Every structure is written in C-alpha cells, then in structure tokens.
Amino acid sequence: MKNCFLIGFFCLFTIPIFAQKSTDTIHSEKLKQERVISISLPASYGKEKNKKYPLVLLLDGDYLFEPFTGALQYGNFWDDLPEVIVVGIHQGKPFDRELESTVDEENGLPIDRGAQFFDFIGLELLPALEKKYTIAPFKIVAGHDVTAGFMNLFLYKDEPLFDAYISMSPELPKDMETHIATRLDVVKKPIFYYQSTADGDLKKMQKLIKTLDTNIKVLRNPNLNYHFDDFKNAAHYSLVLYSIPNALYHIFGAYQPISNAEFQDKIVTLPSNYVGYLTKKYDIIEKSFGIKMPIRINDFKAIEAAILKNNAFAEFEQLASLSKKSYPKSMLHQYHMGMFYEKTGDTKKASKAYLTGYNMEEIGSLTKDFMLEKSEQLK
C-alpha cells in the first residue's frame, strides 16, 4: 500500500502518574526509510474530550528526549509548565544527523539529504502527528549544535512552521547570523526564540552565535520574545542541561501561576482593573499556547488580596462574575458577592450571599463552616 505514513506501535511504556511514553516507527516517502520517534503524551491525555496540547518536537531525540520530558514533567508537577506532547526524532545510528543537516555552502539552504529531511518534518511528520493526536496550534522545535542550526531554517519560510525555537549551541550555516535576525525582524505572528552558548563551545561557533545575539537584540519587533544564555564553566554538552529549563520557562512564562514577584511588581501597584489583569493573563495563555484552562484558585486569591489592599471593593462584583463563569457549581462566586456587599456596607445582602454559598460545593480553602460563620457574623 502506497502511503506517506504508516505508523506502527512497537513498544509502549506507560508511567501512569507522569506520562504515557512510546516508541513509534514511521515510514517516510521523502527519506525512503522507516524512522523511529519517541513520544511522550501527558498523563491527562485522552481523559478530557477535545483538550489540545502544545507540541515540542526534538531533533536529536535520541539524547534530548529524556532531559526535555524530565524538565517538563517536573515543571508541570508544580503547575509552572503546561502539559505538552513531546516527540523526539531519532537521528543516531543507523541515521546520520550530520547528513540530515546538509545545506548548500553558498546559500545555506537545505540540499540533498538535508532537503529530504526538511520536507519529512514539514510535509510528513507534522501532518501525521496532527492527524493522530490532539495538538494545539502552538509548536516548539529544539535542536543541539548542527541540528540547532538546521532547525533555524524553518524560520526562513514566509509562514514559520513553529511558534518557538530552542537553539542550543547552534552550528550556524553560511550567513545565518544575519538571515535569522532579518527574518525575526519581520515575523507577523508571535515568535519565541531562545539560543545559548557556553565557554566550552568552539570559539568559531561562539563568535557566530554572539553575532546573531547582537543582531537580534537591536530588533524592535513586538512579535518577538527573545532570550539568550551564555553559560560559564559549561561544556558543549553540559550546556544542554542548563538550557532546557531556561528555554522552557522563557517560552511558558505567561502560563505560570501568579507569583509573589508578579503580585508585588505588576498587580498590587496597578491603580485599578485588577480583575482585568486576571482576565488578560488567561486570554494570553489561550491565545499564545492554545491552552484553554480554568483560572487557578490561587490566582483568584491574589486578585482578592490586591482588591483588599487597594480598597477597590467594587471590583469584587466583577470578580464574582468571573468566578461564576470558571466554577459555576462552587461557592466561590457567592463568596465574592458576599465580599462585595460586606465591603460596600450592605451587610444584609452579604449575609445572604454567604448563606447561599453554604449550599454549594466547597472549593480551595472555602468550606461550608467558613461560609456559615461569615453569614452569622453579619447578622
């Protein structure tokens, strides 16, 4: 049967608490061979209908897969990083990562085996993954040294295939230190770009990487989110373990719960519209990463604290509307309405709101006893 993709599962290793890991074999017409990929699905995968997950695609999946999945699982345990689908392309023996990164010495574009591998990723692998798995529009690609330089070529396209690029100690093809900056200057959609080097890298590589860094830092494109790391006392390979968490936290910074620093520096200092800040934060998460999620209870508490600290009591009514939308069966919105009435002087309505909340589902630190106590105190 002629088919661009024949996907067969040969091994399936499941870790119920953290992730579902498997190894797949994919037939590629572009490469005329079977290709091995490793896949890590989130622990929640398949449990929530229509839930979509960002994709992290790894070149050099042979050795980058485990460090990436480990960092992502750790960050997700603390709700700092979202659940994602991770796919690692094996490029060790019998495959040849150097050959698959072949570019023309004159123009730096992929040729021969490099061109075939480039097409394999864009025309075969990604469509197959999107057909098989519930993948969000947000896609990340990562590589190390020669594969990092190669993955940058996806930025040369008028419509970049990926939304975020993790370029660790890249071996840059001809003129890439200027071409990438030129492309990042004109991208019309949000792009996250991370690159790193270390003093253990070859001096020639360091020079080109730092030139690219200089060229990017002068750009004023509001769609570009850029971060660069120059690690000291790190080798070419140990750099990877430093880079991965830095890159992931750079890319998913907006996803993280409201921290004490964010509260002190960005929220409590606002003159008003604390509820608007919270709404915008979750809108950014959905629009940037394709992740639709309920507002965290602790983020509601942070906004409550800002409202109280700044005596902006009228905003409790807006917060109640938002909490009712997020947790309609819980007592949270009645608590917020109770706070609105209590702080604006209508103790009778406040007592009634707390008592109404008593009959609803408990959530976070809000309990039936607490709501009953609040109601009784105001009678």
Per residue in 85-143, pLDDT (tens digit) is: 999 999 998 899 999 999 999 999 999 999 999 999 999 999 999 999 999 999 999 99
Give yes or no: residues 265 and 229 share one domain. no
Instruction: Answer yes or no: is 329 within a domain.
Output: yes
Give yes or no: residues 190 and 218 share one domain. yes
Give yes or no: residues 43 and 62 share one domain. yes
Give yes or no: residues 326 and 264 share one domain. yes
Q: In Å, how far are 11, 90, 182, 242 from 93, measured between CA atoms?
A: 19, 9, 35, 26
Instruction: Answer yes or no: is 112 within a domain.
Output: yes
Give yes or no: residues 283 and 209 share one domain. no
How sure is the predictor about 19, in pLDDT bands with cuts at 50, 70 and 90? confident
Question: With the CA atoms of 323, 325, 326 and 330 taken in that order, what torsion angle do they form, in degrees rounded to the nearest 10?
Answer: 70
Pairing of strands 85-89, 135-144: unpaired
Q: The sheet that has 85-89: what strands, in order across it? A: 7-15, 19-28, 33-42, 85-89, 53-58, 135-144, 164-168, 191-198, 224-231
Give yes or no: residues 84 and 116 share one domain. yes
Range of the domain at 370: 260-377
Give yes or no: residues 271 and 328 share one domain. yes
**Domain at 192, CATH number:** 3.40.50.1820
Give yes or no: residues 127 and 269 share one domain. no
Q: How far apart are the first and last CA of the chain?
A: 77
In the chain, the percentage of residues whose pLDDT exceeds 70 is 95
pLDDT tens profile 263-288: 999 999 999 999 999 999 999 999 99
pLDDT tens profile 147-156: 999 999 999 9
Q: What is the pTM of this model?
A: 0.90
Instruction: Answer yes or no: is 153 within a domain.
Output: yes
User: Is 282 in contact with 295 (CB distance < 8 Å)?
Assistant: yes
For residue 94, cis peptide bond before it (omega within 30 degrees of 0): yes
Q: Residue 64: phi, psi to the nearest 5?
A: -95, -15
Give dist(CA 69, CA 43) in Å, integer. Answer: 12
Instruction: Answer yes or no: is 2 within a domain.
Output: no
Among the candidates 221, 255, 289, a domain finishes at 255
Q: Residue 242: phi, psi to the nearest 5?
A: -80, -40
Give yes or no: residues 16 and 125 share one domain. yes
Split into its structural domains, the chain has a count of 2
Give yes or no: residues 35 and 170 share one domain. yes
Among the candidates 255, 281, 299, a domain finishes at 255
Among the candidates 255, 276, 293, a domain finishes at 255
Structure tokens at 171: 């071996």
Residue 16 in this model has a pLDDT that exceeds 60: no
Instruction: Answer yes or no: is 1 within a domain.
Output: no
pLDDT tens profile 43-77: 999 998 889 999 999 999 999 999 999 999 999 99
Instruction: Answer yes or no: is 133 within a domain.
Output: yes
Give dist(CA 256, CA 266) in Å, integer. Answer: 14
Instruction: Answer yes or no: is 11 within a domain.
Output: yes
Instruction: Answer yes or no: is 126 within a domain.
Output: yes
Residue 43 CB-density burial (10 A; 0-12 exposed, 13-18 middle, 19+ buried):
middle
Give yes or no: residues 27 and 176 share one domain. yes
Give yes or no: residues 314 and 291 share one domain. yes
**Domain at 345, CATH number:** 1.25.40.10
